[in-house]
Amino acid sequence: MACECAECVEHGGPNPTIMKVRFMAVFAQIGVALYGLVKERSWKALGAFVGSFIFFWTVPRYLICARCDNYGKECYSLYLGKLTSRIWPKQEGEIPKVGMALEVITLGTFANAPAIGLLKNRKLLALYMLFSNITMVTQFFHACRHCARYATDWRSECPSARTYRRFFGVGREIAM
């Protein structure tokens, strides 16, 4: 069943303006990370960054997105449902907890490896952190807000959705 929240009714899914901002922030974050890690010759951090990015698109996508109801759709999490449908075939069954754990590990590595590798270059570190925080804030106040308020399946119990409800309460309208 499709979501019938006001945003999905108005836009047919996630707000495209917010999604554009999120994509620009993610691409800028990746660009700054790659440039900075090569410039600083931080090869271990670069390896961890690239490796976690590649791993993110393999096992966690197969275990989570290929089993999700939003498979093939423009979901709130950077359209991963639509992107995953181009890589992995649809899978049946519940989303395993190991998939969520692997996603946390890969995203944590992906986000933190460049920050560690850029510690000696404060300007690039600050720029990287700016884009990283924009990415995180737009995820929390756009995607996590949506699942916290409207999801009725496993997404409503995601740790980020529960954190959102803890801070902002259930059903509270947040204009975005």
Encoded tokens for 88: 């992995």
Distance CA 124, CA 2 (A): 42
Q: Please tell me the predicted confidence (pLDDT) of residue 2.
A: 57
DSSP-derived 3-state class of residue 140? helix
Question: Cβ neighbours of residue 71 under 8 Å, at least 6 residues apart?
Answer: 65, 81, 84, 85, 90
Distance CA 66, CA 17 (A): 26
Q: Please tell me the predicted confidence (pLDDT) of residue 105.
A: 94
pLDDT digits (tens, 9 = 90+) for 67-123: 888 788 888 787 788 888 898 899 998 888 898 899 889 989 999 999 999 999 999
Q: Please tell me the predicted confidence (pLDDT) of residue 1.
A: 38
pLDDT at residue 172 tops 50: no
Q: Which residue has the tokens 């570190």?
A: 125
Distance CA 140, CA 27 (A): 18
- Average pLDDT on 135-154 reads 82
DSSP-derived 3-state class of residue 144? helix
Encoded tokens for 62: 């197969």
pTM: 0.81
User: DSSP 3-state helix, strand, coil percentages of the chain (rounded to 5)?
Assistant: 70, 0, 30
Radius of gyration of the chain from its Cα atoms, rounded to whole angstroms: 17
